[in-house]
Structure 1
């Protein structure tokens, strides 16, 4: 079913509110070339073994440097690498409580370790190995348990890169920028309460901008110091320079936050850092951040991250977080909507957390609302919006030659154009937040309001035109 909403064209939930002014300058030829490179990279990198090996090595080295943990890969049935924490298994509490399953795991040299999230301890158990076992050995153990009807899995990495995007010639392209936030023409005014949005990502730029963008965004930091001993250092958020240059995941959370702010200027945005070290975080890192955000009052969660799993099975950690959120809603009379990027795999295999039934999954379209060949898609996708050449806030710094032959320098108050489902999802997050505020709706009702104004595209859900692309 499609609906034109309040008498407008199907697929335009807010009419022409985000259409550039006729006097605005069109993106130049260089920007268009860079966006085209981004699109080409998204279409080819996933099946390019050289590119994938380079990116997996880069993410693994950065993750170990920042987190002190090694990563490993196993090959999925499609012949593609799946990135995992090398020495641990996750099981449900019910699995660990079963004498047979527990005995089997202990005989394999696995023992319980700190989960890092007390709220999930009644649902999930983290097991680490005391022996020299490969990731394939641990995967075989988890597979044996699943064959016996128990829930077990290696700990997957849910990155914004390399599988969601990478930074090479198709990296972010500098943009001229938007007007100061105080002069931004989009009006998000209504009778409802201001929507509370949580962006779970790489963090957000610590140094305040002088153009007003992101000025009111709440920065949340983990309580543990990083490997360099910097405890609660806000300047490390979203920027982890190597040799003084921007790393390939830097700016991702800042960019995503700016998209939410463009679509819903009134939204109360808070940022939680779950990804670091090359833009990678484990599914457990993400699950813990989801719990922290909901406990702090978030109503809409944005997850511009995700992964395909070894056996296309749902992430155990994020499933536990979603169960916890459901219980929180019941006991606190609250509503929480979780929005996630569908991924850039270009196939129909489920990407987690987007493929969970209670998560709003967002695929990406071209600027003319055509389906893209590089976006993940399928029956599990709820909606889609433009994901090519989106403009948003970025971080200050110079890119490294390690990942691009044409490094750019971004100055203060930087903006950029970037492509990926990571940048489609926050448009839907912002649209839900705006509908909540303007129409006095709860999160779920606001999502239904939005979907009723979409235009159906097979395997891409309800297509929505929100921010313009290139």
Structure 2
């Protein structure tokens, strides 16, 4: 995948919008390009009622989550509606976050019990005391053999991967992503305690409200939070609801993938000042062509043809209910900044385990202001 460049977001939306009809692409290919949920606004909790009152002739209803739903004739205009009141209230569209590999492609299966292909050695089954906890906000997490016997597996449980949500007999675009990311963490920090939280669909999509709710739930329960999805915004500013939650993570570290758009536009939440944004490098240490870059990026790590734990649909398996598919466990290769970010999260975990400050990583090549 050397020198691979990312798919245009407009191409991706055009290809998949028939399956995900609530997507609105604002300013395609322009400087304010952003992907949002149709007809949805999100306000700071204190601003929900004032915003709804000011926009009452355009509002259909307000949900208990705080989302403000616009009337159907305005479903394609949440960016403009939010801009009309943003100078008075903390409000924005509900931005759609995309999983980092979504613009590059699906994984390449390289080995499993039914394939005669050498696989990497499974991570050693260590347990650190005191524990260092990494919260992985991603797709599902499957009981891959790499995770067997680890205490956190029984303590926190699993939310298995959804591999074929539409029952078309083929894996969804980001199926198995959370299992792959978790494998990278434990390859590099085998004694870490993982706490998994599903935020991404098997198509690799989530949004501001889902990410903010997960950060709120996990607050105070993890030393490091790892996010592998993100978004651009029309204003190039962090969505207010995310900024509000990230401000409460000052006692822990948040690591996020810088995104796969090959641009220097801020990608949120990675570009937030409280977050360590991770770009992907090639084997020679140069920034991968697909990786976002810029002064807001804090760290780099390998992100091309990374090998990790994976789960896939068994070939020719029968069509069954989502989540109950016949599965095969093995390893795969995948590229993207979301496979660079877990390496940095693991480095930070190793430092916490060694009673060092997160900024004192010995591998300064992996963490620190990169040359982009």
CA RMSD in angstroms, aligned pairs only: 3.1
Alignment match of 1:431 (pick from 325, 347, 365): 347
Of 56, 71, 92, 2:44 maps to 92
TM-score (norm 2): 0.84
Residue number in structure 2 paired with 1:256: 181
Shift of 1:291: 1.9
Query: Secondary structure at 2:110's aligned position in 1?
Result: strand
Looking at structure 2, the residues matched to 214 and 199 of structure 1 have their Cα atoms a distance apart, in angstroms, of: 19
Structure 1 residue 215 displacement after superposition: 5.0
Q: Report if the CA contact (8 A) 1:161-1:280 is conserved.
A: no
How many Å separate the matches in 2 of 1:267 and 1:220? 13
Match of 2:214 in 1: 289
Query: Which residue of 252, 261, 264 maps to 1:336?
Result: 252
Instruction: Give the equivalent residue in structure 1 for 2:119.
Output: 177
Matching residue within 215, 227, 251 for 1:303: 227
Contact 1:201 1:275 in 2 (8 A): yes
Between the aligned partners of 1:379 and 1:213, the Cα distance in structure 2 is: 40
| Alpha-carbon distance in 2 for matches of 1:80, 1:97 | 28
Structure 1 residue 384: Cα displacement: 0.5
Aligned residue number for residue 5 of structure 1:
none
Would you say 1:320 and 2:211 are equivalent positions? Answer: no
Match of 2:70 in 1: 129
Q: 1:386 aligns with which of 302, 313, 323?
A: 302
Quick one: distance in 2 between partners of 1:198 and 1:103?
37
For 1:51 and 1:275, the matched residues in 2 are separated by: 17
| Partner Cα distance (2:240, 2:150) in 1 | 36
| Contact 1:263 1:427 survives alignment (8 Å) | yes
CA distance in structure 2 between the aligned counterparts of 1:461 and 1:292, rounded to whole angstroms: 30
Q: d(CA) in 2 for partners of 1:440 and 1:162?
A: 33
**1:114 corresponding residue in structure 2:** 64
Q: Which has the larger radius of gyration?
A: 1
1:276 Cα deviation after fit: 1.1
> How far did 1:378 drift?
0.6
Q: State the match for 1:27 in structure 2.
A: none
Gaps of 5+ in 2: 112-117, 317-325
CA distance in 2, matches of 1:303, 1:289: 11
CA distance in 2: counterparts of 1:325 and 1:431, whole angstroms:
19
Which residue pairs with 2:135 in the alignment?
198
**Alignment partner of 1:461 is 2:369:** yes
CA distance in 2, matches of 1:102, 1:210: 50
Give the alignment partner of residue 199 of structure 2, picking from 274, 279, 284: 274
The correspondence for 1:142, drawn from 73, 82, 87, is 82
Partner Cα distance (2:207, 2:32) in 1: 18
Mapped to 2, the partners of 1:219 and 1:316 lie a distance apart of: 36
**Aligned partners of 1:109 and 1:131 also within 8 Å:** no
**2-side partners of 1:276 and 1:290: how far apart?**
17
* 1:417 matched to 2:333: yes
Structure 1 segments, 4+ long, off by >6 Å, are none
Partner residue of 1:404? none
Do the aligned residues in 2 keep the contact of 1:247 with 1:399 (CA within 8 Å)?
no
Q: How do 1:37-116 and structure 2 match up within 5 A?
A: 39-40=3-4, 43-46=5-8, 49-54=10-15, 56-57=16-17, 61=19, 63=20, 70-75=22-27, 78=30, 82-96=34-48, 98=50, 101-115=51-65
- Quote the offset at 1:272 in angstroms: 0.5
Contact 1:164/1:344, CA 8 A, preserved across alignment = yes
Residue 185 of structure 2 contacts residue 342 of structure 2 at CA under 8 Å; is this kept in 1? Answer: yes
> Do the aligned residues in 2 keep the contact of 1:46 with 1:163 (CA within 8 Å)?
no
What's the TM-score, normalizing by structure 1?
0.68
Question: Shift of residue 151 of structure 1?
Answer: 2.1
Which has the larger helix fraction?
1
Partner of 2:355: 440
Matches of 1:279 and 1:259, distance apart in 2? 18
Identify unmatched segments of 5+ residues in structure 1: 1-34, 65-69, 116-124, 222-231, 327-334, 401-409, 464-470
Whole-angstrom distance in 1 between the partners of 2:134 and 2:63:
32
Instruction: Work out the CA distance in 2 between the residues paired with 1:201 and 1:352.
Output: 15
CA separation of 1:181 and 1:81: change in aligned 2, threshold 3 A:
same
Residues 178-204 of structure 1 show CA distances to partners (whole Å, capped at 9, x for unaligned) of: 22444x8xxx798x6221111000121
